[in-house]
């Protein structure tokens, strides 16, 4: 198979779909890989590094999309990239379609085979291709939140961990999954007072076993959520419903009642965000104010640490890329029900129930669409 790796063009996005080591693996399996000029430069890889492992370099994205049978990216394709997709071409990347009507419409029109990292599942019920970036984003959320609390950022002027004789900040984490547990790890390490809210008792038990008395585990009723958010200095939104838009758990009224200078970091912003006051921002302009509350809602947080993020993502995606290339997408999807769950759009049909529901479009089961 001919696999194409374009350069990412989202604001301050330096990650790349495949590192040279991943290219080497595919070449060893007999496949051809074409890489856009300087696609890996953001993490320190030159065109010569890719050539050394057997890749061919193309000067433009137009060439990559025109030639490749499968496009491997990191972030969702922007409008100019979507215009380059063609019928039957495989797109393997993060999509986050539920809150994104224009992208959904364009992918349907393209006739491409669109497989989303974030809805590929595993035997344990996890999301193996989302987890690495959730780990990164969860840890980064505390770094970002700590900076937002600085007075120069319009925050409360608090040090997250305090100092002897001065209380630490109260960090409230909504959602105890991969994002939440990683955020808690960093917040605890920085000396903050940490509370984690979740509606799954088994999740709370796991967090209690992991952190002990270092965190407060809270069952997330409406009353508990309101009490903890209003008392918080920093709130991390880490709620995820696979493939679906994030629930708006923190209302405008709750934000209005938060402490002046408090901060929120909405890690769920890729799926629309879990604060009613959230809107996607970029690394260039990461924050804005609502009712004296600092909002950090960067939609590609892991892009700020592209070296760590790219390698973590490639470790997870490479086996799937190899299977798609070795078997072709139909056989690979037929053989792996978890990869099949990643199929969001197939030749003009929506094949993910959550996306169809969010966009009010017809759903076709992936097995039916593929004729399995």
What pLDDT is recorded for position 145?
98
Per-residue pLDDT at 242 exceeds 90: no
The separation between CA 275 and the C-alpha centre of its own chain, rounded to angstroms, equals 17
The pLDDT-based confidence of 252 (bands split at 50, 70, 90) is very high
Buried b (16+ CB within 10 A) or exposed e, 44-61: ebebebbeebebebbeeb
Instruction: Calculate the alpha carbon distances from 299 to 268, 286, 316 in Å.
Output: 8, 9, 21
What pLDDT is recorded for position 11?
85
pLDDT in tens, 209-221: 999 999 999 999 9
Average pLDDT, the chain: 96
Phi and psi at residue 52, to the nearest 5°: -65, -25
Would you say how long the chain is, in residues?
372
The pLDDT-based confidence of 245 (bands split at 50, 70, 90) is confident
- The two three-digit tokens of residue 165, written as one number: 């004789």
Average pLDDT over residues 139-145: 97
Look at the pTM and tell me if it is higher than 0.85: yes
pLDDT in tens, 306-352: 999 999 999 999 999 999 999 999 999 999 999 999 999 999 999 99
Say which residue the tokens 């994205």 belong to: 61
What pLDDT is recorded for position 243?
78
Say which residue the tokens 């074409």 belong to: 34
The pLDDT-based confidence of 244 (bands split at 50, 70, 90) is confident
Average pLDDT over residues 156-166: 97
Q: What is the 3-state secondary structure (H, E, C) of the chain?
A: CEEEECCCCCCCCCCCCCCHHHHHHHHHCCCEEEEECCCCHHHCCCHHHHHHCCCEEECCHHHHHHHCCEEECCCCCCHHHHCCCCCCCEEEECCCCCCCHHHHHHHHHHCCEEEEHHHCCCCCCCCCCCHHHHHHHHHHHHHHHHHHCCHHHCCCCCCCCCECCECCCEEEEECCCHHHHHHHHHHHHCCCEEEEEECCHHHHHHHHHHHHHHEEEEECCHHHHHHHHHHCCEEEECCCCCCCCCCCCECHHHHHHCCCCCEEEEHHHHHCCCECCCCCECCCCCEEEECCEEEECECCHHHHCHHHHHHHHHHHHHHHHHHHHHHCHHHHHHHCHHHHCCEEEECCEECCHHHHHHHCCCECCHHHHHCC
Per-residue pLDDT at 259 exceeds 90: yes
Cβ–Cβ under 8 Å, residues 277 and 249: no
Active site residues: 96, 270
Average pLDDT over residues 213-232: 97
Cβ–Cβ under 8 Å, residues 287 and 261: no
What pLDDT is recorded for position 372?
87
How far is it, in rounded angstroms, from Cα 23 to Cα 35?
9
Longest dimension (CA), the chain: 67
């Amino acid at each position: 198979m001919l696999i194409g790796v374009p350069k990412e063009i989202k604001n301050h996005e330096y990650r790349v779909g495949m590192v040279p080591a991943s290219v080497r693996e595919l070449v060893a399996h007999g496949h051809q890989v074409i890489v856009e000029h300087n696609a890996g430069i953001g993490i320190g890889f030159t065109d010569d590094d890719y050539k050394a492992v057997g890749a061919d370099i193309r000067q433009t994205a137009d060439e990559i999309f025109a030639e490749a049978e499968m496009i491997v990216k990191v972030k969702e394709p922007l409008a100019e990239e979507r215009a380059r997709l063609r019928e039957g071409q495989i797109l393997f990347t993060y999509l986050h379609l539920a809150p994104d009507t224009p992208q959904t419409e364009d992918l349907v029109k393209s006739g491409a085979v669109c497989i989303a990292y974030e809805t590929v599942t595993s035997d344990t019920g996890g999301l193996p291709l989302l987890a690495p970036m959730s780990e990164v984003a969860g840890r980064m959320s505390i770094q970002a939140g700590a900076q937002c609390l600085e007075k120069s950022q319009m925050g409360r002027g608090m040090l997250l961990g305090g100092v002897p004789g001065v209380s630490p900040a109260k960090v409230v984490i909504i959602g105890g999954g991969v994002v939440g547990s990683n955020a808690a790890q960093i917040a605890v390490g920085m000396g903050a007072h940490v509370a984690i809210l979740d509606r799954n008792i088994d999740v709370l038990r796991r967090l209690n076993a992991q952190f002990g008395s270092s965190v407060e585990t809270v069952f997330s009723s409406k009353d508990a959520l309101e009490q903890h958010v209003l008392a918080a200095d920093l709130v991390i939104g880490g709620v995820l419903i696979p493939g679906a838009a994030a629930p708006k758990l923190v209302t405008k009224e709750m934000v209005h009642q938060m402490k002046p200078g408090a901060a929120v970091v909405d890690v769920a912003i890729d799926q629309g965000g879990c604060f009613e006051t959230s809107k996607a921002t970029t690394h260039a302009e990461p924050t804005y104010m609502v009712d004296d509350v600092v909002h950090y809602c960067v939609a590609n947080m892991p892009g700020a640490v592209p070296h760590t993020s790219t390698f973590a993502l490639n470790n997870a995606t490479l086996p799937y890329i190899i299977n798609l290339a070795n078997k072709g997408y139909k056989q690979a999807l037929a053989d792996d029900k978890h990869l099949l769950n990643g199929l969001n759009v197939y030749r003009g049909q929506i094949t993910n129930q959550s996306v169809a529901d969010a966009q009010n479009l017809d759903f076709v089961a992936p097995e039916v669409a593929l004729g399995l």
